[in-house]
Chain A
Amino acid sequence: MDILGFVANLFADYTLRQVAMGSAVLGIVNGVLGSFAVLRKQSLLGDGISHAALPGIALAFLLTGSKSSLTLLLGAAAAGWVGTLLIMSIVKHTRVKYDSALGLVLSVFFGFGLVLLTYIQKLPVATQAGLDKFLFGQAATLLRKDVVTIGILGGIVVAFLLVFWKEFKLVSFDPDFAVSLGFPVRMLDILLTTLLVFAIVIGLQTVGVVLMSAMVVAPAAAARQWTDRLGVMVAVSGIFGALAGVSGALVSSAAARIPTGPTIVLCASAIVFFSLLLAPNRGMAWSWVREQINRRQLQTEAVLGDLYVLARQHREPGHGHPVEVLRTMAHGHGGVDRSLKVLKERGLVQETGSGEWALTPRGMEEGGRLSRQWREIP
């Protein structure tokens, strides 16, 4: 019997199921919360929170000696929260700007976290192994109880979001109006940021502190391309997050020596790329197509207009004008031949000789209408 195959199967069956479920939850929760972060111009706050969480993980381990995911996650959340408050208070009390405060807190906290991690690694206890998995994430280390913890925390976060949906929506789009209505905007602000902290912390074990921020930004930025409605955006973002999480985690579990975090991030980036290109309305491919159609129409109208001007300058309307003249009048913008073909099909121009064109009576009418229309443009 093929022992390797058997082991691989067993591994696939149990671990893959945990991995898929854990990644799905983290993807959904971060996609949902990320929508608010992106809309509130806090895309990079996730970067700060996830890096700032590292010393929290190390301290939680140092203080309790436990590696249970709940302990470490709470430690991470506390540190992430402290980091966020620090950023806010630096911005509020000094002239250091938001971006500097963010970069400062994230790098200093991370550096302190590395000091603690390297310190822990030298300690003569056997249980410390595995903490460095939090750097880039290792989906394969997810156990059933980790998934349960992630699921419960994620559920609470999403539940809070749904309960305060209306308030969060208002605070995100028009904080001044919210203040004038008497909502406790500052409290809501802190609550929403706290939820974001928990969302990020959930993903640390799978994606890692270094890249977790991408899970906040990417699904939301992708979802933003598909809709203009907050509710739809949040739902789509959750689905994208889950998709990226599951596909990335599965790919990295299947192949050797691929850390999970980067793989998930690349899957999320692919979704963003696809959305930027192909989403209806906002997709760049469609804008390009629209641009081409507009351009052709303008070219055709310009040729018709040029012919009309030429016809007005000559006595007999049926006099043909060489295509070279039309090309010159189009300033080399091109599309003259194509435009003539289109106009001919519509019965507006006729070829009077080889390479010579004139307007038909209907073409004269159309040209007159067009020139009056253009004159109205201020």
Chain B
Amino acid sequence: MTNILRADHVTKAYQVRGAPEMIAVRDLSLDVAEGEFVCLIGASGCGKSTLLNMFAGFIQPTQGTVSLRGEPITRIEPRCGMVFQSYALFPWKTVRGNVEFGLELKGIPSSERRRTAARFIEMVQLKGFEDRYPYELSGGMQQRVCLARILAVDPMVLLMDEPFAALDAMTRQVLQEELLQIQERSRKTIVFITHNIDEALILADRIVILSARPGRVKAIVPNTLPRPRHVSIQLSPDYAALKAKIWEHVEEEVQRHVEADRLMAAG
């Protein structure tokens, strides 16, 4: 499998006024293969979002490069489509309007736009809701619209920043199941940030554990649970073993992060 996304010894430092330089990630390297589902997991502030934002081109690395199919990402990259935790739906547009937005920008004629949008709206189980406004939808439905919106423009890579974190556990489970199906059918490359080890085990092919700040790749755990996968995989015996392994890595970093926070508060 070819690598589609790469972070090469990436460092990101922020200058905060009146305070020492803040290093979000240091010397972080990661390869993502085409068609794979990678979960990034780690304590707060370990640079997960920073890395994702660099892949999307919202920020540039201070050192090192991030690249898409070998080309360095130096500005905003629409081929790395992002799904945000707080949805970012356009409140003045209907479900259809939101899903068509990216297509409209590409100059696609309105009848074709409508057809394409209808397809993706149906894919996320929102048929019948085309004319609703975001304020009329639940959180889970809003996130589905975001998914449809970004899939409609057919990005090379899907970047998802804790997209289900704001949802209740049941809705989250439903959306995880739907995302699995979508990924299985489309074979999209997905980089998915989560705090939730269960979520990572359900969704990912590989689980990348990041160290506490400054973020580095601490460990990569391949997910050996069989595919096609369903949420019920949580009941399999191998599941517990994998989860324990990942928790071991994550726990260490969480301790480190808590310790660092304590020192910062004291000093």
A, B assembled together = no
State the A residues within 8 Å of B (CB): none
Q: Which residues of B contact A (CB under 8 A)?
A: none
